[in-house]
């Protein structure tokens, strides 16, 4: 971020604190305004915290970019669409200690955490999270709303569908495709295509059945 940029952050939970601190690591003089639907305080990490959505009359779309820092993929992608409809440009927040290849393609509203890698020619959709220490190898394609949790590793050319979640420390074999609205539990191994939505866990992954 350049010195004059101002950032609206939607969300005031744990993920939001990581995003705000990454934004500050990029630019300590960054002006941050935090919004949350159920704010329980007036400050968040020392920044103003307001209940509800930002009002463009007070926070002009010409001055502020915005990022949604909420883990839930449905909420995150929906709020990104609402912000865009209000006229806000979505900001990407990339921690200064992340590696993002110059040939990777990033949409908007993307967060890449500390020590994460987004390698050559990978493609990240709107509101994607590549969390702390995660690896998204070359030619991976992550659709809108995907969340790759801390320490997860996607080998080359993996495709992850809309809003899907890959849990912490999970490994996904090269060129494997995972469909939309899939949750892969922490510490799993995905070696084969997953087409249906649902929750999958284990080494190798199996679908988790409801009791
Ligand atoms: C998969 C997951 C979503 C399931 O959560 P849940 O529905 O609350 O499941 P529960 O904790 O009730 O566990 C149900 C059973 O599945 C097992 N299980 C849960 N997650 C598992 C995992 N990742 N791998 C293997 N088994 C798992 C539990 O041990 C339990 O087994 P039991 O019935 O024999 O005791 C969750 O465990 C998980 O892995 N979340 C991802 C965590 C993560 O990566 N967070 C990063 C956020 S940044």
Query: Residue 63 in 3-state DSSP?
Result: coil
> Does some domain include residue 209?
no
160 in any annotated domain: yes
Residue 1 located in a structural domain: no
The answer to whether residues 84 and 61 belong to one domain is yes
Residues 105 and 74 in one domain: no
Q: In this structure, are 28 and 53 located in the same domain?
A: yes
Protein residue whose Cα sits closest to atom 18 of ligand 1:
201
**Residue after which a domain boundary falls, among 91, 117, 152:** 91
- pTM, two decimals, is 0.97
Shared domain check, 23 and 116: no
Kindly state the tokens that stand for 158: 């993996």
Q: At 100, which CATH number?
A: 2.160.10.10
| Confidence band, pLDDT 50/70/90 cuts, at residue 1 | very low
What's the pLDDT tens digit per position in 31-87?
A: 999 999 998 899 999 999 999 999 999 999 999 999 999 999 999 999 999 999 999
Q: Which range of residues forms the domain containing residue 137?
A: 94-199
Specify whether 74 is located in the same domain as 158.
no
Same domain, 114 and 154: yes
Both 86 and 106 in one domain: the answer is no
129 pLDDT higher than 90: yes
The two structure tokens encoding residue 107: 């949409």
**Domain end (from 60, 91, 122):** 91
Distance CA 79, CA 145 (A): 11
Which pLDDT score, from 0 to 100, does residue 196 have? 96
Co-location of 60 and 149 in the same domain: no
Contacts of 44 (CB under 8 A, 6+ apart): 12, 16, 17, 20, 34, 36
Task: Give the Cα separation of 22 and 32 in Å (integer).
Answer: 12
**Where does a domain end: 44, 61, 91?**
91
Cβ < 6 A, ligand 1 pocket: 131, 149-150, 167-168, 183, 185-188, 199, 201-202, 208
> How many domains does the chain fold into?
2
Could you give the percent of the chain with pLDDT greater than 90?
95
Q: What is the mean pLDDT of residues 106-132?
A: 98
**112, part of any domain:** yes
CATH assignment at residue 79: 3.40.50.20
Q: Which of 33-42, 145-154, 175-184 has the lowest mean pLDDT?
A: 33-42
58 CA from centroid of ligand 1 (Å): 43
**What is the whole-number distance in angstroms between the Cα of residue 185 and the centre of ligand 1?**
6
pLDDT of amino acid 72 = 97
Q: Which residue puts its alpha carbon closest to atom 4 of ligand 1?
A: 185
Question: What average pLDDT does the segment 120-143 reach?
Answer: 98
Are 66 and 155 in the same domain?
A: no
Element (H, E) at 199: strand 198-201
Tell me if 210 is assigned to some domain: no
Nearest CA to ligand 1 atom 6: 185
> For 18-41, how does the pLDDT look when each residue is reduced to its tens digit (9 = 90+)?
999 999 999 999 999 999 999 889
- Give the residue among 3, 11, 15 at the shortest CA–CA distance from 129: 15
Pocket test for ligand 1, best of 150, 171, 186, 204 (most atoms within 8 A of CB): 186
What pLDDT, on the 0 to 100 scale, is given for residue 209? 84
| Residue 211 is assigned to a structural domain of this protein | no
- Asked whether residue 99 falls in the same domain as residue 86, the answer is no
38 and 106 both lie in a single domain: no
* Dihedral angle sign, alpha carbons of residues 14, 132, 65, 83: negative
Q: Is the distance from CB of 133 to CB of 151 less than 8 angstroms? A: yes
Q: Which atom of ligand 1 is nearest to the CA of 152?
A: 44
Question: Residues 123, 63: one domain?
Answer: no
In a domain, 107, yes or no: yes
């Amino acid at each position: 971020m350049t010195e004059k940029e101002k950032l609206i952050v939607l969300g005031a939970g744990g993920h939001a604190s990581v995003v705000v601190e990454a934004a500050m690591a990029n630019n300590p003089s960054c002006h941050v305004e935090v919004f949350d639907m159920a704010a329980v305080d007036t400050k968040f990490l020392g920044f103003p915290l307001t209940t509800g959505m930002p009002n463009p009359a007070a926070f002009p779309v010409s001055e502020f970019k915005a990022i949604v820092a909420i883990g839930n993929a449905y909420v995150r992608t929906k709020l990104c669409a609402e912000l865009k409809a209000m006229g806000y440009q979505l900001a990407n927040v990339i921690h200064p200690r992340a590696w993002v290849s110059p040939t990777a393609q990033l949409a908007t509203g993307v967060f890449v955490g500390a020590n994460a890698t987004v390698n050559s020619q990978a493609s990240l959709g709107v509101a994607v999270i590549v969390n702390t220490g995660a690896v998204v190898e070359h030619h991976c394609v992550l659709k809108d709303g995907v969340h790759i949790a801390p320490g997860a590793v996607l080998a080359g050319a993996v495709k992850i569908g809309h809003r899907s979640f890959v849990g912490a420390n999970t490994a996904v074999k090269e060129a494997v495709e995972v469909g939309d609205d899939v949750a892969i539990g922490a510490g799993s191994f995905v070696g084969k295509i997953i087409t249906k939505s649902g929750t999958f866990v284990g080494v190798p992954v199996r679908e988790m059945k409801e009791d």
